[in-house]
Amino acid sequence: MSLFFQNKTRYKAQSVSAIAWRKFCKNKQGMTFLVFIGILSVIAVLGYAITPDSTPYANEQILEIRLLKPMSKVKMVPVKKNYDVPHYHFIRKMLFGQPDDCTPIAISNYTVKHDSLIVYRLHESAPYDREAYHLADVIYALDEQSPVVTDGQTCTFTTVHHEKISQTVTQLQQAAIKRIHTKTYILGTDRYGRDVLSQLIIGARVSLSVGFVSVFIALIIGIFLGAVAGFYKGKVDDFIMWFINVVWSIPTLLLVIAISFALGTGFWQIFIAIGLTMWVDIARVVRGQVISLREKEYVEASKAMGFKNISIIFKHILPNITGTIIVVAAANFASAILTEASLSFLGIGVQAPMPSWGTMIKENYGYIILDYAYLAIVPGIAIMLLVLCFMLLGNVLRDVLDVKDNG
């Protein structure tokens, strides 16, 4: 019996957030949405470390393989570039990509003739399809000032790193043939010959980044102005509410476009532009919550004990409205993703060559009535799923953080 009362006392002593987390873990829908967002976030963070095309902006264009269908297989010959290409460490590659040190060539067939590799380019007609490369040029980055010298069965050449190498023709033939490989394009390629899956992954990074950064900016501005207005009331409240209503009266998309033109188009500018227009909802909600809490007994006790107003606001009032703020932030996250996609579709959002889901739809919406409709549908589905997850997650959080149910 005593053990029963100890367990009951321990449960009652838990914080509201711990009880809410327990309720959330029991909600299968909420956990499903959270896992989906978590997996997508991990994919976005890894970025170029897991993309098939790890070049910066996933912008490797191979026109011979443009508009390939999903799961297409192409035979590739990677020809080494004859200049020094920097190789970055894992973290830098993950964040910014790694320039390719080879030029990939899509081929239909190839032959090896003594010290030359003869390739037949894909989808090219004779005689323009046939190209010959020296075997050493395929494998090494050669110093173009020092030509390759073939003496019988031995080739001697100098690389860009001033390394003088001598290899037999047989060794070069074996090494060159090993470099020829078949590449699978899981989601096909676009009209520029870029890998669609790589573009989609890096586009997820843009969408999630704009959500996090813009919501963070909106939270800072909205919580501060809303809390100050609700706590001090009077002329301070009247002025802040006048400012909120002025911003509220301007259509959001038009305001974002105006701020974008003022700041310029770009990756970070669009984050700031969206963040500067999303704080109004948060400020109004926070103001209303602070007004309802400022007359509570614990607030009056804090004033009587001599605590400063700023301390009362941020240490005693705001922690009690965290649940409401989280729900509003989840909805604003979805709104930010839609706004960024809309701006990118209009051409004033994230600029090329940075991939974005909105940009992908803009570039490929003309294929909707053709056989390549998936080029626009796939990023559209990605936007829909991500926005839907955040909206439904916000509904679940609203139910979980309901104080009446938690009691």
159-176 residue pLDDT tens: 998 889 888 888 999 999
Average pLDDT, the chain: 86
Cis amide leading into 127 (omega within 30) = yes
At residue 239 the predicted structure's pLDDT band, cuts being 50, 70 and 90, is very high
The lowest-confidence range among 5-9, 178-182, 339-343 is 5-9
At residue 16 the predicted structure's pLDDT band, cuts being 50, 70 and 90, is low
Best CA proximity match to 407, nearest among 32, 14, 7? 14
Chain position carrying tokens 């004859």: 82
36-48 residue pLDDT tens: 999 999 999 999 9
pLDDT at 384: 93
* Domain at 16-41+196-406: CATH architecture: Orthogonal Bundle (1.10)
At residue 400 the predicted structure's pLDDT band, cuts being 50, 70 and 90, is confident
pLDDT at 6 over 60: no
Tell me the domain boundaries of the chain.
16-41+196-406, 72-185
Length of the chain in residues, anyone? Answer: 407
**Can you point out the beta strands (E) in 180-311?**
181-185
Identity of residue 397 = L
**Can you point out the beta strands (E) in 81-169?**
102-113, 116-121, 130-134, 149-151, 154-158, 164-168
Report DSSP letters for 64-95, one per residue: GGTTPPTTEEEEEEEEEPSS------HHHHHH
pLDDT at 4: 43
Residue 162 in 3-state DSSP?
coil
pLDDT at 233: 81
> Cα(first)–Cα(last) distance of the chain, in Å?
24
pLDDT at 354 over 70: yes
54-68 residue pLDDT tens: 999 999 999 889 999
Tokens representing 195 are: 């890998």
At residue 183 the predicted structure's pLDDT band, cuts being 50, 70 and 90, is very high
254-263 residue pLDDT tens: 888 888 778 7
User: How many whole angstroms separate alpha carbon 259 and alpha carbon 265?
Assistant: 10
Q: What is the mean pLDDT of residues 383-393?
A: 92
Please, are residues 288 and 354 in contact by the beta-carbon 8 Å criterion? no
At residue 342 the predicted structure's pLDDT band, cuts being 50, 70 and 90, is confident
